[in-house]
Structure 1
Amino acid sequence: MEKKEVEQHPLGFFLPENTKLLMLGSFPPPLARWSMNFYYPNIQNDMWRILGLIFYHNKEYFLETKKAFSEEKAKAFCREKGIGIGDTAMEVIRLKGNASDNFLQVVTPLNPAEVLAKIPACEAIVVTGQKAMDTLIAMLPPVEEPKVGSYSRFTLLGRVFRLYRMPSSSRAYPKPLEEKAAAYKVMFEELDIS
C-alpha cells in the first residue's frame, strides 16, 4: 500500500485588522486547479460569484478573465468589508488527489483560539462546508452545530461569537447560485456588513 503524502496548507490566514467575520473552508484544491494565489481559487468554485452577486449585483465582478479570479479585487474586498479568510485544516492527506472534502483526511486542524486572538474585532465565524464544520466544532468549546443558513453561539477567549453554517460554494453542492447567495446575504445583513 502506498503511503500518502501529508500536504501543508499553502496559504497563511488572511486577517485584515478590521476582521469582523472569519470565513473558513476546509482546504484549498490541488495547485493545478488554482486560478489565483488566494482563497477559493478554483474557477469552478462559486464563492467569488456569490460575493459578487451580493455586493455588486454582478456574479462576474471578481473575474479577471473568463478562467481566472482577480486576487487584487478579492483581497481589496476582504479588507474593505472586514472579512478574514482561512481554512480549518492546516495539514491534510488527499486520499484521492482531488479537491473533494470527502477524500480529505485532516492531519492537523487549525487552533481557533490562536487565530481569533489575532482579530479582536471578530464577531462571527462562517464555515462553508460540512468538513469545515466538523473540523472546527471538534476544536471549539461545546457548541450546537447550526443548520445550513443559520447560526449558533459559543464563547472563547472571554468573547461570544456567532458560528454560521452557510451552503457550500462548491458546484458539487446542488443549489442554484442565486439561492446560495440569498442565504449568504442574510448573514451579511445580520452582521451589518454591506
Structure 2
Amino acid sequence: MEIEQHPLEPFLPTNAKLLMLGSFPPQRKRWSMEFYYPNWNNDMWRIVGLIFFGDKEHFVVKGKRAFSKEELIAFLQEKGIALYDTATAVRRLQDNASDKFLEVVQPTDVRNLLERLPQCRAIVTTGEKATDTLCRTFSLTAPKVGDFTEFLFGERPLRLYRMPSSSRAYPLALDKKATAYRVMYQDLQML
C-alpha cells in the first residue's frame, strides 16, 4: 500500500497562541484550495466563520465551491492560529477521506512545532485520530470531546483541547460544533 507524505508545509505564524492539529489532509481530488481543511464538505471554516463573523459562509468564495485561502491566511495570522496535522506520512486503508481508515506511518514531531511557536499556549485536536496520535506523543489521557487537559512542555504550561471533528461524518450539527469551539476560543481570550 502506498505511503502518502504530507503535501503541505506547517502554517506557523510567529505570533501563534494556538496550534490546531488535524489528522492528515484528504486526497487531492477532494480539495477546494491548496490549504488546510480543503474539503468543501469539511465544516472547519464554516465553524470559524460562524464564531468570529456570525456567518458560516464568511470564508466561502462567492459563486464557487471553495474557501478563500488568502482570507483564511490573513485571519489566522491576525488571530495567531497555527495549523498542521498529527501525521506526516500515512497509508489510506480505503479510498476515502475517513480518519478511521488512516494508518499513521510517521507521526508529526509536535515538539519541534512547539519549539518554533514560543507564544503557543494551547493545542487543539480536531478529531479522534488526531487526539489519539497527539496523546501518544505526550503520554496524555485524552480529554472528553469539548474539554481540555493541561500538561507541561518543558517549563511551558499548555492546554490540549479536544474538539468535535469538523467532518460532516461526525454526527453533530454545525451550530453545536461551533458552540464547543467558541468556548475554547473564549477560554484562550481570542474572541
Once the 2 structures are TM-superposed, how far is the Cα of residue 156 of structure 1 from its aligned partner?
Answer: 1.4
Q: Secondary structure at the match of 1:61?
A: coil
Opposite residue 167 of structure 1, the aligned amino acid is P
Look up the match of 1:98: 96
Q: Is the 8 A contact 1:95 1:104 kept in 2?
A: yes
Could you say which residue in structure 1 is the equivalent of 2:55? 58
Partner of 1:39: 36
2:161 aligned residue = 164
1:9 and 2:6 aligned: yes
Distance 1:143 1:46 in 2: 27
Q: Which residue of 2 aligns with 1:153?
A: 150
Q: Deviations over 1:114-160 (max 9, x none)?
A: 110000000000000000011111111x3231111110011113211
Amino acid aligned to 2:98: S
Moved over 3 A (4+): none
Confirm or deny: 8 A CA contact 1:23 1:127 kept in the other structure.
yes
Between Structure 1 and Structure 2, how many residues are aligned? 190
User: For residues 11-45 of structure 1, what are the alpha-carbon distances to aligned partners after superposition, in whole Å with 9 as ceiling and x for unaligned?
Assistant: 01101010000000000000000000000000000
Identity of aligned residues (%): 57
Paired residues of 1:143 and 1:153 also in contact (CA < 8 A): no
Structure 1: segments with no counterpart, 5+ residues: none
The aligned amino acid for 1:117 is E
CA distance in 1, matches of 2:72, 2:159: 24
Name the CA distance, whole Å, in 2 between partners of 1:108 and 1:159.
25
- Deviations along 1:65-116, one digit per CA (max 9) or x if unpaired, are 4400000011111101000000000000011121100100000001121110
**Structure 2 counterpart of 1:74:** 72
Aligned to 1:28: 25
Find the counterpart in structure 1 of residue 111 from structure 2.
Answer: 113
Q: What is the CA–CA distance in structure 1 between the aligned matches of 2:142 and 2:39, rounded to whole Å?
A: 27
